[in-house]
Amino acid sequence: MVEVTHRAQASVNDVFAVLADGWLYSGWVVGASHIREVDDAWPAVGARIHHSVGPWPLTIEDTTSVRSVDPPHTLELEARLWPVGAAVVRLELRETGPASCEITMSERAVRGPGRLIPHAAQAVLLVPRNRESLTRLTDLAVGRNPSTTP
């Protein structure tokens, strides 16, 4: 697993509220460019986000589904990206104060050619991307809750 941790000046509930709104997925996931549909049950186990990845007009359409969820502390996803394969992404939220939390994002390739890439090479690609994703996630959580905006 490639793991990144980020400290957010937002509560666990505020961060999880962003995760629970599937329409915001492309706002925080680096690479996701368009949300086509979100299952009504999102973020229940098995629910999916239908998204596009990449710059238009070269987008690839695929889905991300919920593998497990324990609101507001964990969300585990299977993110598909044909032809690369699929990855399991786990987000864990831990309260560090009344309006702050630590977010840990873990990712590992589980299918396709991506799983053959050595861990060190995956880390070179994923760590900067996932750090930026967590920064965007935090910004959305802070921006959606006026009481946390400085």
- pLDDT (tens digit per residue) in 36-50: 999 999 999 999 999
Q: Is 56 exposed, middle or buried (0-12, 13-18, 19+ CB in 10 A)?
A: exposed
CA distances from 18 to 55, 92, 110, 119 (A): 23, 13, 25, 29
- pLDDT tens digit sequence for 43-70: 999 999 999 988 888 899 999 999 999 9
Q: Which comes out higher in pLDDT, residue 4 or 81?
A: 4
pLDDT of residue 68: 98
Q: How many CB atoms lie within 10 A of CB 49?
A: 25
Q: Write down the pLDDT at residue 146.
A: 62
Distances from the Cα of 99 to the Cαs of 46, 141, 150, in angstroms?
30, 11, 12
3-state secondary structure of 99: coil
Average pLDDT of 118-127?
88
Report yes or no: 7 and 105 within 8 Å, Cβ to Cβ.
no
Q: Is the pLDDT of residue 149 over 60?
A: no
Bridge partners for 4 per DSSP: 105
Closest CA to 29 of 147, 145, 136, 138: 136
Per cent of the chain over pLDDT 90 is 75
Q: Which domains does the chain have, with CATH numbers?
A: 2-21+66-148 (3.30.530.20)
> For the chain, what is the mean pLDDT?
93
